Amino acid sequence: MKNRIPIKNNKTKIFVKENSDDGKGIRLNKFISNAGICARRKADDFIKAGKVEVDGKVVNEMGYRVMPTQEVKFEGKLVKSYQKKVYVLLNKPKNFITTTSDEKDRKTVMDLVKGASTERLYPVGRLDRNTTGLILLTNDGDLAQKLSHPSKEVKKLYMIKVDKAVTVAHLEQLASGVKLDDGMANADEVAYADNHDKSIIGIQIHSGKNRVVRRMFEALGYSVDKLDRVMFAGLTKKDLPRGKWKHLNDREIGLLMR
């Protein structure tokens, strides 16, 4: 965003830098325990004895962590703690709906990620048909549930273009709270995104309410021309053109699991 005016609601700033820390994964002993092989303490003994491999290499380091994308073997046999996890980030264009199938035979996000995996993927959260931007698809049910739960307060950053200039008073109201038919909703941060065009707004929000950003602006008398999600849970659209997808790397998966 270009024009960073201080409209906020005493929470984190809208201009969040992408976390640069590597993903931590989970402890190897917990991974083995989750597979039902043994308790964690016994798993430590097996690790010390050199009976555990990660990606083809023996690991005997206590506290070693693994990512869901890595292959773990115990005494030469694959540890199937869970199925191979796949994490795909899509930059959704308009006119695609966020479902795995559609009875009206409309285009879905699944049409855009064909070939991404042999595993069955599911979208995490939703973007309505006319909203563009980031959406995660995965077969990791635990992570999907975690990211969808209100207590996680997953941050989402949107760029929105409305039909007229947004007043400062309305920016302040967006931050303090807007009454919707299903309760109050407020932005974590909101600001003008253009030095000259006050109809372009950046808004960060963690609410899981359906179509919440559109409804907040509509409740204040604005018509939404464009809505684009540019950040989701620390992930950005950098080097990801509209309509394209990519597999997340370990660092990006780590951001989701924080």
**Alpha-carbon span 192 to 212, nearest angstrom:** 19
> Do residues 218 and 116 both lie within one domain?
no
Q: CATH number of the domain that 101 lies in?
A: 3.30.70.580
pLDDT, position 151 = 77
Sequence-separated (6 or more) residues with CB below 8 Å from residue 202: 1, 14, 157, 158, 159, 160, 189, 190, 191, 192, 193
The tokens of 156 are what?
A: 């989402």
> Do residues 30 and 42 both lie within one domain?
yes
pLDDT, position 239 = 92
Q: Is the pLDDT of residue 2 over 70?
A: no
> Do residues 157 and 227 both lie within one domain?
yes
Domains in the chain, number = 3
In a domain, 210, yes or no: yes
* pLDDT per position as a tens digit, 169-200: 999 999 999 999 999 999 999 999 998 999 99
Q: Is the pLDDT of residue 61 over 60?
A: yes
The answer to whether residues 212 and 202 touch, using CB atoms and an 8 Å cutoff, is no
pLDDT, position 69 = 81
pLDDT, position 220 = 98
Q: Is the pLDDT of residue 70 over 60?
A: yes
Task: Note down the domain range covering 45.
Answer: 26-66
The answer to whether the predicted template modeling score (pTM) of the entire model surpasses 0.75 is no
> Do residues 243 and 211 both lie within one domain?
no
The one-letter amino acid at 188: D
In a domain, 8, yes or no: no
Q: Tell me what the pLDDT averaged over the chain comes to.
A: 86
> Do residues 136 and 243 both lie within one domain?
yes
Q: Which of the residue ranges 32-36, 91-95, 210-214 would you say has the lowest mean pLDDT? A: 32-36
Q: Is the pLDDT of residue 31 over 90?
A: no
> Do residues 61 and 169 both lie within one domain?
no
> Do residues 142 and 158 both lie within one domain?
no
Q: CATH number of the domain that 211 lies in?
A: 3.30.70.1560
> Do residues 225 and 246 both lie within one domain?
no
The pLDDT confidence band at residue 10, using thresholds 50, 70 and 90, is: very low
Q: Supply the residues annotated as catalytic.
A: 128
> Do residues 140 and 159 both lie within one domain?
no
> Do residues 216 and 245 both lie within one domain?
no
